[in-house]
Chains A and B, each alone.
Chain A
Amino acid sequence: MKAVWKEKAIRLMLFASASTSILIVIGIFVFVGKEAGHFAIEPGLKELFGSKWIPVSFQKESFGLLPLITGSLLVTALATILTIPFGVGAAVYISELARPAEREFLKPFIEILAGIPSVVIGFFGLVVLVPLIKSVFGLSTGLTALAGAVLLALMAIPTVVSISEDAIRSVPASYKAASLALGASKMQTIWKVTVPAALPGIVAAIMLGIGRVIGETMAVMMVTGNAAIITASPFDSVRTMTATIAAEMGEVAFGSIHYRALFCVGIVLLLTTFGLNIIAQKFLKKYRMG
């Protein structure tokens, strides 16, 4: 009887530790939601749909999220466009074409890229990339959405490479053998058989990469200029949601409207990454089934 109880106790303890992360996620949602909820009551959610973000003003403070959301979207979209060819290309090469020695060399190096602290990448961006973008495109300043997107692509590529490589490698050898036996060349096999078969995994990899990109803060804050304007040009300055929270959260008086507006930004950000992760999980499941 005693032994049964012991076993049950251990089981419960393990279950509790397994559910900790769920608790934390719920806790974060509740806490952030609570503060954002205050904003919904006073001054009301309508305030968030404005087109100006001027949190500190002697005239009139405005808390329109539009410039921040479009800023995040622009940087993320550009970063995704840059990430996909490099990330998927590298994954195809490493998994299908590289000699074992090359793979041994390439993989760890790409993974090191993932380990560089984002503030270091940001500093590199500020000192090297920003002046470069300015002179290459003949702009008045290099502090642009493009600069942020390039840095973010650098950070997302390792994620995309390692997960897509995994997906490509887990395509059954019989598919490739069948394709080659039918007379297809190696390249034909890769692009017509292997990559399509691994596609759900690759899409999931890209989704997770985007998740990382949207949530990234420091590097973006250092190179995008942080002007809260609505623009679709990669050569304009943008202010992302993450940079706004990071830059302003320290300053606000606790419980003020500005403080609560920042939590609203947080909720939007949280829901976006949450949604992306769910979609990525769906795709990952699909390719594991297949």
Chain B
Amino acid sequence: MNEKENKNAKQIFVLVTTLVITPMLISGCSRRDNSTGSEQKLITIKGSDTMVHLASSWAETFMMQNPDIEVSVTGGGSGTGIAALLNGTTDICAASRKIKDKELQLALEKNIHPHEIAVAKDGIAVVVHPNNPVKELTLEQLSKIFTDNSLRWSDVGGPDEEILVLSRESSSGTYVFFQEMVLKKQDYMQDAKLMPATSAIIQSVSTDKSAIGYVGLGYALAAKDKVKIISVKADDISPAVTPSEQTVKSGQYPIARPLFLYLNGEPQGTVKKFMDFCLSSAGQKVVTDTGYIAVQ
């Protein structure tokens, strides 16, 4: 009897010890080595889904020129990228929005100094089904469509149908940018369908006659005839502007934003080499080729 109790006590002891020690071990080795020395062979880029295509095209071209360096690109949203930068799990963060004050504050608390570099510009295209007769909308109409669920297509010059409003998930930089720029910081209506990816928006808009959504210009152009791109008027009297390379670059098209890469501190070593490449004429040609607008 006594021996059995003894055994139980021992088992509990082992259990408790393991309970205490395991988390210590795990937390001990979770920090990533942040060296940015010139011997670095692997660069990681994480962040904006909008920029995944661009970043991986850069990575491909860059790796072709520098076969001994590997660049790995992952998406997840601008916020994901910034969080990764703050946690030291990525070298470069791709962001389709500026870093928020809150995030900056958190970064400084963690002794990380986000360094911002604008690398390209992107237009946000508003897309509808190809058979939708509506060709142009004002910013005000767009704002109403995305905030007021009683609005119908007939209110903006279309057939008498409900509007199916598609938005990106709130983790997307595009979501926040569209909210700030078009919705004038109002909340999206509660009925808006939040789609997990740009491709899901294109897919739904191409099959749904009453749908409206917003996607990066590059994606809208790549989808060709599957969706129709709406021309946008800044107000009632301004001319309608179709998003294109010229109109975004010249600033005529109102829904456009800069795209950023964030680093921890000034670029050094391999990362600097990569950054220099992105801003070089070869790098900026990649920007144009992937459907974005060059900054240089």
A interface with B by C-beta (< 8 Å): 12, 15-16, 19, 22-23, 26-27, 52, 54-59, 126-127, 130-131, 134, 140-141, 143, 221-222, 225-229, 237, 239, 243, 247-256
Contacts and interface: CB of A to CB of B under 8 A. Distances in A.
List the 9 closest pairs (A to B, CB-CB), nearest first. Answer: A251-B171, A251-B79, A58-B185, A250-B80, A225-B193, A226-B194, A56-B170, A247-B169, A250-B76
Contact of B186 (A59, A221, A253): A59
Interface stretch (B54-62, B204-212, B288-296): B204-212
Contacts, number: 118
Interface string B5-20: 0000011001100110
Contacts of B170: 55-56, 247-248, 251
Nearest to B26: A27
B277 interface: no
B108 interface: no
19 contacts: A23-B15, A23-B18, A27-B22, A27-B23, A56-B175, A140-B161, A140-B162, A140-B164, A227-B193, A239-B194, A243-B196, A247-B194, A247-B196, A248-B169, A251-B79, A251-B171, A251-B172, A253-B83, A253-B102
Contact of A229 (B15, B164, B190, B204): B190
Contacts of B155: none
B171 to A, nearest CB: 3
Interface of B: 10-11, 14-15, 18-19, 22-23, 76-80, 82-83, 86-87, 100, 102-103, 106, 161-162, 164, 169-172, 175-176, 179-180, 185-187, 190-196, 200, 203-204, 207-208, 210-211
Nearest to A226: B194
Given A26-B19, A59-B187, A143-B204, A250 B194 contact: no
Contacts of A243: 196
A134 B208 contact: yes
A227 B193 CA distance: 5
